[in-house]
Structure 1
Amino acid sequence: MFLLKLLLKNAFRHKLRTGLTVLGLVVAICAFGLLRTIVDAWYAGVEGSSSTRLIVRSNISLTFPLPLNYAQRLRGLEGVRQVSWSNWFGGVYITERNFFPQFAVDPATYLPLYPEYKIPDAERNAFLRDRQGVLVGRKLADKFGWKVGDQIPLRGTIYPGTWTFTLRGIWDGADAKTDESQLLMHWAYINESIRQRFKGRGDVVGVYIVGIDDPNNAAAVGQRIDKQFANSLAETMTETEAAFQLSFVSMSEAILVAVQAVSLIIVVIIMAVMANTMTMTARERLAEYATLKALGFPPGFVVRLLLGESLLIAAIGGVAGLLLTWPLAAAFRSAAGTLFPIFQVSALTMALQLVAALIVGLVAAAWPAWRMGRIDIVNGLRHVG
């Protein structure tokens, strides 16, 4: 208790300097946490993917569709439990700024593959019955203030024209990793409209979603699928859902590396600032530390004083920065909209924030503490004059 009181008095002896140092720590720890959360948000789709789902797409590119008749052949392969498909719709809601993922799916086979979408039975059945109905995630519905029964107009980009849909249901995620920012519509309705408008088009899908029973057989089933369609006009590439999501993340890998580097640089900068603060503190108290040693206090006590003061300041700044990260992350999540479907400060990020603050405190005081522990009493007392 005596040591804690002494540390508190020493830490706030120069209130302005300590306050500015704490402020710098708060900013650094907040920035570190937010940048790490942004990186986590990029990988959220990977973490939320299922090990029992495979994605089958064109071997050339995702922009090349696959024939609808592949579905029946896929169902006949060993290890395949269920098959569904989806197309990217790419419509615009009012303005291009309101971007969110939209998929035309086969509801009867698609929804059973995604049990993490928790939908009331009445809303699920209403969606299945209405070919012009859509399902949306809770986050998307809250963003635009949609409720069941609302009309949602989308201006087509890939599929020309204005499409008006009726909101039939809203799903909630089974956990925080479930994406709630998507809109699902009936593939059959889109396909039928395309066939009527454009002769010779239609009956193609963007990707197939294949359900398997045993994740350990994912590689074998994937090879079996690709072999089935080898040397055809539309060869396939099959990968796990996590690998499929990672293919999108890898496009921004350089940006993610830069963000991670910046988060570390911020911590290093505040470490240098705090090290300068602790060095100034030690120099000003040179005579005091010499007096303590003259009175019989061991060098270890002086070292503990400096390290303890530095860790105390770092802990205050770290905890304050951690607490401030939550409202800032909420504000960022609101401003980002559907850019980051899942944006939450993880327990690992919070732990790293505290660890970073403590490392800053330890490293900043290491050199001055070592110097003060070895101070010569005579030279230290002479410093009074």
Structure 2
Amino acid sequence: MFLLRLLLKNAFRHQLRTGLTLIGLVVAICAFGLLRTIVDAWYAGVEASSSTRLVTRSSISLTFQLPLNYAQRIRAVEGVRALSWANWFGGVYITERNFFPQFAIDPASYLALYPEYVIADADRLAFLRDRQGAVVGRGLASKFGWQVGDPIPLRGTIYPGTWTFTLRAIYDGADAKTDENQMFVHWAFINESLRQTARQRADAVGVYIVGIDEPNNAALISQRIDALFANSLAETLSETEKAFQLSFVSMSEAILVAIQAVSLIIIVIIMAVMANTMTMTARERLAEYATLKALGFPPGFVVGLLYGESLLIAGLGGVLGVAATLPLSAAFAQATGTLFPVFQLSALTMGLQLLAAAIVGLVAAAWPAWRMSRIDIVDGLRHVA
């Protein structure tokens, strides 16, 4: 208790300097946490992917669709237990700024493959029965104030015209990693319209979702599926859902590397600031440390005082930084809307923030502690702070 009181008195002997150092630490730890959370949000789809789902798409590009008649042949592949399909709809709700993912799906088979979308039985049945029905995530419904039964008009881009869907169900995510900012409509309804207006685009799907029993056989099953359509007019590329999500993340890999680099640079900068603070502190107390050594205190005691003071300031800054990051991350998620479907400060990120603060405290005190442990008593007593 005495040592703690001594460290507190020493740490706040120069209140302005310590206060400014704490503010810098809090800002740096907050920035580090937010940048790390942005990177985590970019990988949210990858982390939420299932090892029991494969995605089969055109081997050329996602913009090329696959024939619907591929479904029966894929179902017959050994190891495939379930199959569904989806098309990107790409409609506009009021204005382009209201962007959110929209998929035309085969409802019964698709929802069976995604148990993480939790829907009340009555609402699920209502959605299945209404070909113009839609289901959206809880986050998306909250953003626009939608309730079950509300009409949702979308201006088509890929599928021209104005489409009006009736909200029949709102799903909740099974856990925090589940994206609750998506909208699903009936593929059959879209396809029926295409048969009347653009027959050449009808009976085609963007991707097939393949359910498998054994994740260890994912590569083998993927090869079997792709072999079925080799040398055809629409060859396929099958991969795990995680690999499919990573292909999107890789498009912005340079940005992610830059964000991670900036987060580390921030910590290095505050480390230099903290080291300067501790060096000034040690220089001002040179006579005090020499007196302690003259009274018989070992060099280790002086080193402990410096390290203790540095870690106390860094620890306090780290805790305050983590506390400030929580509301800031919530405000950032609100401001970005559906840009980051899952934006949550994780326990790992908070742990890294505290670890970064501890490292700053340890490194900042290293040089002045080493110097003070080797101070000559006579020279120290001659020093005037």
- The reply on whether 1:330 has 2:330 as its aligned counterpart is yes
Q: What SS does the aligned partner of 1:338 have? A: coil
Q: Which position in structure 2 is the counterpart of 1:299?
A: 299
The answer on 1:33 being equivalent to 2:33 is: yes
Q: Determine helix, strand or coil for the equivalent of 1:209.
A: strand
In 1, Cα distance between equivalents of 2:302 and 2:200: 85
Q: Partner of 1:148 in structure 2?
A: 148
1: distance between equivalents of 2:16 and 2:194? 69
Q: What SS does structure 1 have at the residue aligned with 2:201?
A: coil
Residue 330 of structure 1 aligns with an amino acid whose one-letter code is A
Q: Tell me the CA shift for residue 199 of structure 1.
A: 3.4
Give the aligned partner of residue 372 of structure 1: 372
Unaligned runs of 5+ in 1: none
1:125 aligned to 2:120? no
1:216 lines up with 2:216 in the alignment = yes
Aligned partner letter, 1:175: D
Aligned to 1:189: 189
TM-score, scaled to structure 1:
0.99
Please give the alpha-carbon distance, in whole angstroms, between the structure 2 residues aligned to 1:346 and 1:240.
25
The residue number in structure 1 matching 2:351 is 351
In the TM superposition, what whole-angstrom CA distance separates every residue of 1:317-338 from its partner, at most 9, and x where no partner exists? 0000001110000000000111
Q: Cα offset for 1:264?
A: 0.2
Amino acid at match of 1:92: V
| Other-structure match for 1:276 | 276
**Cα deviations by residue, 1:243-300 (Å, 9 ceiling, x for unpaired):** 0000000000000000000000000000000000000000000011111111111111
Cα distance, 1:108 vs structure 2: 1.4
Post-superposition offset of 1:238: 0.1
CA distance in structure 1 between the aligned counterparts of 2:261 and 2:241, rounded to whole angstroms: 28
Provide the C-alpha distance between the structure 2 equivalents of 1:71 and 1:233, rounded to a whole number of angstroms.
16
Following TM superposition, by how much is the alpha carbon of 1:341 offset from its aligned partner in structure 2, in angstroms?
0.7
Q: For residue 166 of structure 2, what is the amino acid of its counterpart? A: T
Aligned to 2:45: 45
| Cα deviation 1:211-258 (Å, max 9, x = unaligned) | 001111101100000001101110000000000000000000000000
CA distance in structure 2 between the partners assigned to 1:300 and 1:292 by the alignment: 11
Aligned to 1:255: 255
2:148 is aligned with 1:170: no
1:316 equivalent in structure 2: 316
CA distance, structure 2, for counterparts of residue 186 and residue 12 of structure 1: 65
In the alignment, the residues of structure 1 paired with residue 201 and residue 98 of structure 2 have an alpha-carbon distance, to the nearest angstrom, of 29
> Aligned to 2:217, what secondary structure does the other structure show?
helix
Q: Give the whole-Å Cα distance in 2 for the aligned partners of 1:350 and 1:200.
A: 53
How far the C-alpha of 1:2 sits from its partner, in A, is 1.0
Return the offset for 1:198: 1.9
Cα distance in 1 for partners of 2:123, 2:249 equals 33
- AA aligned to 1:355 is L
Q: What amino acid is aligned across from residue 62 of structure 1 in structure 2?
A: L
1:335 & 1:147 partners in 2: Cα distance? 22
Post-superposition offset of 1:50: 0.5
TM-score, scaled to structure 2: 0.99
Counterpart for residue 113 of structure 2: 113
Could you tell me which amino acid in structure 1 is paired with residue 249 of structure 2? V
Percent sequence identity over aligned pairs? 81
Structure 2 unmatched runs, 5+: none
Task: Name the counterpart of 1:4.
Answer: 4
Q: CA RMSD in A?
A: 0.7
Q: Which runs of 4+ in 1 moved over 3 A?
A: none
SS of the residue 1:375 aligns to: coil
Per the alignment, in what secondary structure is the counterpart of residue 338 of structure 2?
helix
What is the letter of the counterpart of residue 73 of structure 1? Answer: R
